[in-house]
């Protein structure tokens, strides 16, 4: 915050180089994400976080859960599950990589099963790790041999009475996914 305040007081353009994503997103008006010396995305911090143009940026800026699979008519088959996806960044049917941010992964106690908009996107799992982060709680959930990361507001965590070892359902809203072509290329 001190660097941001200084920049605003001086009313000067500043270039700040960092590998700390939180720092970059909090002080910058524009961010450049580079990979191997090449620009991968340039834009406002919120745009880069919410709409990364490639899987590298989605992974580098923040945390994402990734699933690779075959896209056919709005459904991605990962081999372990089928996921309905309404947001498309990839072109036609084919192999894709899906990304979903932890704050978009919903978690429910297993009993009773929750009512959700798309039952296909509901998966059973077990909370393996609970990490208190202040306003949010990070859950590491074991689902079909994969680790799914979910960040939920601390208040919701308390209200749902979630704890390590609980059997739960995770839910992926169909419109919460970012879709990238095979190999993580640009969308």
Q: Which of 84-88, 113-117, 153-157 bottoms out in mean pLDDT, i.e. has the lowest? A: 84-88
135-153: per-residue pLDDT in tens?
999 999 999 999 999 999 9
Using an 8 Å Cβ cutoff, are 33 and 57 in contact? Answer: yes
**H-only helix segments in the chain:** 2-10, 21-27, 45-50, 55-60, 154-159
Tell whether the model's pLDDT for residue 165 goes beyond 60: yes
Please give the residue that has the higher pLDDT: either 16 or 118: 118
- Bridge partners, 178 (sequence order): 99
pLDDT for position 21: 83
80-100: per-residue pLDDT in tens?
999 999 975 655 678 999 999
pLDDT for position 71: 92
How does residue 183 score in pLDDT terms, banded at 50, 70 and 90? Answer: low
Round to whole Å and give the CA distance between 131 and 164.
10
CATH 2.40.50.100-classified regions of the chain: 102-172
Sheet with strand 65-72: strands edge to edge = 82-84, 75-77, 65-72, 94-100, 178-181
51-73: per-residue pLDDT in tens?
999 999 999 998 999 999 999 98
pTM: 0.87
Phi, psi torsion values for 53, nearest 5 degrees: -85, -10
Query: Which two three-digit tokens encode residue 168?
Result: 């739960």
Tell whether the model's pLDDT for residue 185 goes beyond 60: no
Report the share of the chain in percent with pLDDT over 90. 71
How does residue 27 score in pLDDT terms, banded at 50, 70 and 90? Answer: confident
pLDDT for position 49: 94
Q: What number does CATH give the domain 102-172?
A: 2.40.50.100
């Amino acid at each position: 915050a001190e660097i941001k305040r200084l920049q605003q007081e001086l009313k000067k353009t500043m270039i700040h180089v960092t590998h700390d994503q939180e720092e970059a997103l909090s002080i910058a008006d524009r961010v450049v994400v580079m990979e191997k010396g090449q620009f991968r995305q340039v834009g406002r911090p919120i745009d880069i976080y919410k709409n990364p143009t490639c899987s590298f940026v989605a992974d580098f800026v923040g945390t994402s859960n990734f699933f690779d699979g075959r896209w056919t008519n709005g459904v991605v088959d990962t081999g372990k599950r089928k996921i309905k996806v309404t947001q498309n960044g990839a072109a036609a049917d084919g192999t894709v990589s899906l990304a979903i941010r932890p704050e978009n992964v919903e978690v429910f106690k297993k009993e009773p099963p929750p009512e959700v908009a798309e039952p296909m996107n509901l998966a059973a799992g077990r909370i393996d790790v609970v990490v208190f982060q202040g306003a949010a709680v990070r859950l590491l959930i074991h689902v079909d041999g994969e680790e799914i990361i979910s960040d939920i507001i601390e208040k919701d965590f308390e209200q749902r009475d979630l704890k390590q070892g609980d059997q739960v359902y995770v839910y992926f809203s169909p419109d919460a996914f970012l879709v990238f072509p095979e190999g993580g290329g640009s969308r």
